[in-house]
Structure 1
Amino acid sequence: MSNYNSLTDNELLILIQAGDRRAFEEIYERFNGLLYIYACKLVSEREDAKDIVQEIFVYLWSNPDIKIKSQLSAYLYTAVRYKVFDWLDKNKSKSNYLLSLKNFAELGDCITDDYIREKEFASIIEKEISLLPPKMRQIFEMSRQQHLSQKEIAEILHLSDKTVKKQMSNALKVLRLKLTSFISIAIILFVR
């Protein structure tokens, strides 16, 4: 395979897990600079930030059996954050840096982190919508994506207004139930 830059992160990850060095180099090229910038915002010394990022890539390459349940980018940014906490413990300057990290988070400079979470949440919502029963999903998508009224949907699908209303209500209940647990977990993980 010669054109690695056209592959998705997850396709490259599968190749990395099979021992493909070029796939690893492509992931390194995609994320090294971004992760370094992110790490520099979390620690004061650039060399420390560089070491933290290098440790993440060494771990990724040397652990082919690693299970990543989210997007690779989200995993890498989270790994940097946790590696920073490890680094803080080892360097016994935890309180100063944690205060700095807290200030950093409060100032809202976690734009990259927020963007990744937003993309992941949108992906989860899309997945849950795709799991709705076909007719319910169709009605929900016509309402939310095509911005059609219940009356318009009923006319197009030759259904009663009541049926459309009930299907929308059921779709929202299902999504609310599934997404509430995700939101609770996300709040616990990301608002520390």
Structure 2
Amino acid sequence: MKKSRYRSYSDNELVEQMFQGDRNSFAELYDRYFAVIYSFVRKMLRDSDQAEDVTQEIFLAFYENGTQTPVKSVRSYLYQSARYAIVDLFRKQKHQNNYLAGLQDYYHKGAWTTDDMLIERELQHRIEQEVDGLPPKMRKIFELSRRQYLSNKEIADQLSLSEGTVRQQIHNAIVRLRSRLTCYIWLQVMVLLWWIGKML
């Protein structure tokens, strides 16, 4: 079935076929709603790159978990998911900022010991190892985004890729790194967040 035929289907028809494993149906829903959901998230976050990451996660969750929740209106479902994602992000950022403030106070009071610095260096080394272990294409895109601070469009132009491919590769890299690094104990994870905060 040609992709153009999917454009004539209603949202409910596409959802039904998507839940049966039809990826083209999901692709059509993605094309219909990505721009409006991204625009909504970007307006709330005021950060284009972060909005892209959040929007990608919303659609990924929709595709992977949609069968567990009845979807009467795709638009309403995605907007509601976006609201939940934004609230969750703000909550996490608040906790992280509180921790970083406490960590800074901890450092200025002279409690930052040699052992703590060794832990930080060890984590930095581990992060570098995990980034180096990414597939070559994914690693290149991730480094251009997070280390050279290029926009998705600049990366796409430089590597002759679509912006959608760049967004997906960055998202996949973040998911992979997050999965690999969550095995650390609580203190190590907190120091990791502090280090990432310095890099951003």
TM-score calculated relative to the size of structure 2:
0.44
Higher relative contact order (CA 8 A, sep 6+): 2
Higher alpha-carbon Rg: 1
